[in-house]
């Protein structure tokens, strides 16, 4: 787990002066369950699982959408979701100016 030193209003780190207020310098991405991509991931995953359970061969024949294909598609979908969240997190460093002021920008 990566950690960063929080910078206080005076420019020192929290480790230097634990009593000083800490200001945010960058925004974070949304929590994963609040994003549209998570909802889309769940809908498609449930659709794959339902399709895998309900599609069968005719007259007791071979299953067209067997369990191995269902889990393969579910795994590919999950890996795609994790990659998209990683990309979203990696490019999320935007400057944050508390209270709508330019106090941090002027430094």
Q: Which residue has the tokens 């508390």?
A: 98
pLDDT at 89: 76
* Residue 91 reports pLDDT greater than 90: no
Question: Chain-wide mean pLDDT for the chain?
Answer: 74
Domain assignment of residue 71, given as a range:
32-91
For residues 104 and 95, give the distance between their C-alpha atoms in angstroms, rounded to a whole number: 9
The total number of structural domains that make up the chain: 1
Answer yes or no: is 79 within a domain: yes
Answer yes or no: is 1 within a domain: no
Q: Tokens for 45, please give them.
A: 């995953």
Answer yes or no: is 14 within a domain: no
Answer yes or no: is 54 within a domain: yes
Between CA 16 and CA 26, with CA 20 as vertex, the angle to 5 degrees is 90
| DSSP letter, residue 96 | -
- pLDDT tens-place string over residues 12-50: 555 555 555 666 666 666 777 788 889 999 999 999 999
Q: Which residue has the tokens 């991405």?
A: 29
pLDDT at 13: 54
For residues 107 and 100, give the distance between their C-alpha atoms in angstroms, rounded to a whole number: 15
* Residue 77 reports pLDDT greater than 90: yes
């Amino acid at each position: 787990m990566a950690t960063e030193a929080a910078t206080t209003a005076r420019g020192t780190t929290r480790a230097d002066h634990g009593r000083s207020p800490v200001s945010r310098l960058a925004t974070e991405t949304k929590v994963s369950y609040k994003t549209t991509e998570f909802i889309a991931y769940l809908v498609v995953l449930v659709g794959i699982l339902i399709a895998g359970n309900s599609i069968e061969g005719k007259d007791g024949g071979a299953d067209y959408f067997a369990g191995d294909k269902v889990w393969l598609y579910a795994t590919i979908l999950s890996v795609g979701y994790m990659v998209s969240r990683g990309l979203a997190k990696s490019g999320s460093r935007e400057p944050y100016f508390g209270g709508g002021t330019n106090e941090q920008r002027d430094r």
